[in-house]
Amino acid sequence: MKSHAKAVVIGGGVVGCSVLYHLAKAGWTDIMLIERSELTSGSSWHAAGGFHTLNGDPNVAKLQAYTVQLYKEIEEISGQSCSLHLTGGVMMADTPERMDFLRLAHAKGRYLGMDTELITPSEAKAMFPLMDETNFVGAMWDPVEGHLDPSGTTHAYAKAARKLGAEIVLRNRVVELTQEVDGTWNVVTEQGTVKAEHVVNCGGLWAREIGRMVGVELPVLAMEHMYLLTEPMPEVEEFNKSTGREMIGVLDFKGEIYTRQERNGILLGTYEKACKPWSPVNTPWDFGHELLQPDIDRIAPSLEIGFKHFPGIEKAGIKQIINGPFTFALDGNPLVGPVQGLTNFWCACAVMAGFSQGGGVGLALSNWMVHGDPGFDVWGMDVARFGEWATLRYTNAKVRENYSRRFSIRFPNEELPAARPAQTTPLYDTMLANNAVMGDSWGLETPLWFAPKGSEPKDIVSFHRSNDFGPIGEEVRATRERVGVTEIANFAKYEVSGPGAEDFLNRLMTNRMPKSGRIVLTPMLNEFGRLIGDFTIAKAGPSGGEDRFMIWGSSAAQKYHMRWFEKHLPKDGSVRIHRFDQTLVGLSIAGPKSRDLLQKLVDVDISTKAFRFMDFREMAVGGAPCMVNRITYTGDLGYEIWMAPAYQRLVYNAIKEAGEEFGLVDFGMRALLSMRLEKNFPTWFRELRPIYGPFEGSMDRFIKLEKNDFIGREAAAKEQAEGPKLRRVSFIVDAADADVMGDEPIWAKVGGKDYGTVEKPHGYGAPRFDAGGNEVRGSNAAEGASAVRGIVDGDWRVVGWVTSGGYAHYVEKSMAQGYVPAALAENESAGLFEVEILGHRRPARINVEPPFDPSGEKMRT
Ligand SMILES: Cc1cc2nc3c(=O)[nH]c(=O)nc-3n(C[C@H](O)[C@H](O)[C@H](O)COP(=O)(O)OP(=O)(O)OC[C@H]3O[C@@H](n4cnc5c(N)ncnc54)[C@H](O)[C@@H]3O)c2cc1C
């Protein structure tokens, strides 16, 4: 074993081997993988080996598609077969709601170039005759699904990596990790110490323990998982013989079941409701190539549904039940990337679908390590997406919830209950008493909307407009016409101070920093000129003679942004950065009467001239020391008021009392988001993400290329000079009873013109076939299915995608934001665009100016 390496990858499961392969392929050959036992000694060896491309996050779906396409490459390089069976598969819907879910997934697939198709239950049965199709209302066919040999695949990655120069050390446990002052890692193993520049945690079942070696509690938990294998079945053999094909994979939402052919029999796995964590606190180091005791009682309810839906399987004898552990993060997606607060410590763990995702994870992580950027939008699997609140017990509750709902629909207005409430503000009980429906905002309870007195404060979950529609409309109208108050504790808040603060922020941000007492809005870019942040920054009065800036940003991006800030902090200590989290909370008042209301609570002049739009001031509000921004996300006259939690009740009560004469209402986060829509304001992680440039994001006025050499300036200048390829636009949609939720395709009537924004189908997948084994192309016969398959329909073409939207209550319009080719972005013509909502293409029109207060006069008065 060598004593030095550029990077050490810990763990020889499918993920570690993929990371090793991708690092070697990217040109880092001075790398080694250290494995405690043999390759595949964690969860990889007993996997069912299924793979698919579908994922709730389109960006993760893209990486899954990459993984599947990669298998041929590693087979060729390594000479090792993965035993790939590209059979295709179907997802079966048993209710109209599940069919809506499939329509959404199918529509999303369009701009990803996925070749899915909505089909009837009978068409699905033709490819998997063991089902009773009368249990289902429809299905979605995905040609890029199948199964492989987990061990062969892991070894194929490993052999390919070795061929490219990587070293693999087996039977050698990493027992300790320490870091030198210069950043070098000491990887202490049973066979000695390796000095490494970078360490990657691919510990799978032991990833949590490896995290603890460096003082980090990763939100990952292993769950027991069972699948059964039947004896050979004559029906299967007969089907193979008569059609010349293998049976396809089937996913049954109702039963939380997946099933497929395995040799001459069937494999059937369950995500049972009564799920069980494995080793919830510590994973034993001596756990090896072992299986856990099957517990048939636990999966009996799922099997009961399974045998009803697939009666052909019930008759078969069960040959074996496999029960093995594998890991999950809170939302079921992996934990990938550099860990905030550490240098050159990387994660690629909690990969619950290693054979769908392992390749994509390896590619993104190796890009990140070698080139400084993952090269894709990997927010959906970024290790920074969870905060300190994701403790061991929180993780346990959330992972169990996620596992038991693995194939359940998550409605766009659905809040999940496990591990809540976690964090609350001092107003939590008051908000409940006000009949607030609360939501989870990065671990913090936040009012979403207020149910009418006497009614139960609860969402009726739906893909369509629901019971919050009326009350949110009331909140919006009262705020727009009088005044409203809302909690904004869930914003991220930071303070940057020190003699170097202004230079530091000027280097990071695209806009000029404000003068004392003023506010600016500013994006932040990475070196490649892509959007990685969007902030409100105020310059506070100097403290102890030093500059002090207050920064507000996206709540969910706190660790993501801290990681970036810390990476760029000057080494001389001239800049300090502090994240407040919930040690600073806030309230926002907005609407034409908000100034009159605030004036009653302060002892200084806040008239238009004395306290201008985009001013910042420290002042007492209702007797409490506060910071006040004259700005609001509603895009109206309004204020954000920030205070220590100990003062929040005092300020809120004062606002409520003073507001009575103005007809003050409480409004929630959903009303706030509705109001921002009618101002065409973007949101971080929806409209603004690292896949877009600042001019694509239509953030032009905040990009000051001439100010100084900020990070990403050169790339932004290039984007401006060449012209952005895409533009963010706002649409008014002729919707019926459902608004957009995000990720819907945008169609345009562009004739034969190809604007080149949508990826072409990858053309890699199994053909769909009928009961006779003949290939079928694109009938889309399912009831209510879109008649169109793919991304072109006559003169119409998918040219972009929706990022977010909803109903803009004050202007009474359904609105959507999204990206389209720049050449189309200013075309307000009717009849040019359609947005596909739940399988129905609805007319849509670009609205260049915001429909509410287009001149911005109201917010400036
Ligand atoms: C029953 C079952 C069915 C499944 N079915 C599927 C499926 O159909 N499709 C699919 O995609 N996925 C499936 N999975 C999940 C799949 O197995 C995992 O996604 C995958 O194995 C994760 O791989 P990994 O490399 O992250 O972790 P692991 O396979 O757990 O590998 C981690 C490795 O790290 C090593 N290690 C840990 N700590 C140290 C240390 N300190 N020093 C040195 N080495 C260390 C371990 O020995 C181990 O080999 C299934 C899992 C189970 C249990």
566-592 pLDDT per residue, tens: 999 999 999 999 999 999 999 999 999
The predicted structure's pLDDT at residue 761? 52
Cα 363 to middle of ligand 1, angstroms = 18
Task: From 8, 41, 43, 193, give the residue whose CB has the most ligand 1 atoms within 8 Å, as the site to mutate.
Answer: 43
Burial class (CB in 10 A: 0-12, 13-18, 19+), 173: middle
pLDDT beyond 60 at 781: no
What are the tens digits of pLDDT across the range 283-335?
A: 999 998 889 999 999 999 999 999 999 999 998 999 999 999 999 999 999 99
Strands 840-846 and 833-837: antiparallel
- The C-alpha angle 204, 155, 14, rounded to 5 degrees, equals 20
Q: Is the pLDDT of residue 349 over 60?
A: yes
Give residue-wise pLDDT tens across range 654-672: 999 999 999 999 999 999 9
Contact status, residue 227 vs residue 48, Cβ threshold 8 Å? yes
Note the pTM of the prediction, 2 decimals: 0.95
State the Cα–Cα distance between residues 317 and 310, nearest whole angstrom.
Answer: 14
pLDDT computed for residue 112 by the predictor: 76
Closest alpha carbon to 121 in 137, 105, 141, 103: 137
For ligand 1, atom 50: residue with the closest CA: 47
> How many C-beta atoms surround the C-beta of residue 777 within 10 A?
8
Q: Is 16 in the pocket of ligand 1 (CB under 6 A)?
A: yes
605-610 — which CB contacts under 8 Å span 24+ positions? 608/861
Helix (H, G, I), strand (E, B) or coil at 231: coil
Q: Does the C-beta of 268 come closer than 6 Å to ligand 1? A: no
Is the dihedral angle over the CA atoms 689, 692, 697, 700 positive or is it negative? positive
Within 8 A by CB and 6+ apart from 190, the residues are: 172, 173, 175
Q: Give percent of the chain with pLDDT exceeding 90.
A: 88
**Which amino acid is it at 502?**
E
The mean pLDDT of 629-643, rounded to a whole number, is: 98
Cα 153 from Cα 162, distance rounded (Å): 14
Q: Which residue CA neighbors atom 37 of ligand 1 most closely?
A: 203
pLDDT at residue number 738: 96
Write down the pLDDT at residue 783: 37
CA of 556 to the centre of ligand 1 (A): 28
Helix, strand or coil for residue 491?
A: coil
Residue 760 predicted with pLDDT over 70: no
Q: List pLDDT tens digits, range 45-75.
A: 989 999 998 887 888 888 898 999 999 999 9
Omega within 30 of 0 (cis) for the link into 523 = no
pLDDT of residue 46: 87
842 phi and psi angles, rounded to 5 deg: -105, 135
Place of tokens 């009949």: 435
CA distances from 701 to 106, 283, 510, 845 (A): 36, 53, 10, 24
- CA–CA separation, 376 vs 365, rounded Å? 10
Question: Could you tell me the distance, in angstroms and rounded to a whole number, from the CA of residue 341 to the centre of ligand 1?
Answer: 26
CA distance 628 to 588: 9
d(CA 628, CA 820): 37
C-alpha dihedral, 421 to 422 to 426 to 428, nearest 10°: -20
Q: Is the CB of 143 under 6 A from ligand 1?
A: no
pLDDT in tens, 521-545: 999 999 999 999 999 999 997 767 7
- The 10s digit of each residue's pLDDT in 83-142 is 999 999 999 999 999 999 999 888 888 777 778 899 999 999 999 999 999 999 999 999
What average pLDDT does the segment 544-554 reach? 90
Using a 6 Å cutoff on CB, does residue 35 contact ligand 1? yes
pLDDT of residue 737: 94
In the predicted model, is pLDDT for residue 222 greater than 70?
yes
Ligand 1 touching residue 353 (CB < 6 A): yes
**Using an 8 Å Cβ cutoff, are 434 and 454 in contact?**
no
Question: Could you tell me the two tokens for 789?
Answer: 């398959």
- The answer on pLDDT for 782 being more than 70 is no
**Does any ligand 1 atom lie closer than 6 A to the CB of residue 510?**
no
Mean pLDDT of 771-785: 62
What is the DSSP annotation of 179-194?
Answer: E-TTS-EEEEETTEEE
- What is the best residue among 18, 37, 44 to mutate for testing ligand 1's pocket, by most ligand atoms within 8 Å of CB? 44
| Number of Cβ within a 10 Å radius of residue 632 | 24
Mean pLDDT for 758-766 is 64
The residue behind tokens 């200013």 is 826
Does the beta carbon of 513 sit less than 6 angstroms from any atom of ligand 1?
no
Distance CA 698, CA 266 (A): 52
Cα-based torsion angle of the residue sequence 190, 192, 197, 201 in order, rounded to the nearest 10 degrees: 0
Q: Output the pLDDT for position 765.
A: 79
Tell me what pLDDT residue 521 has.
98
DSSP assignment, residue 557? G
Strand partners, 226: 270, 323
Question: Which residues fall within 8 angstroms of residue 815, CB to CB, at 6 or more apart?
Answer: 677, 678, 730, 731, 732, 733, 739, 805, 806, 807, 808, 847, 851
Whole-angstrom distance, CA of residue 497 vs CA of residue 167: 46
Write out pLDDT tens, residues 360-396.
999 999 999 999 999 988 999 999 999 999 999 999 9
Q: To the nearest whole number, what is the mean pLDDT of the chain? A: 94
pLDDT in tens, 99-113: 999 998 888 887 777
- How high is the pLDDT of residue 763? 58
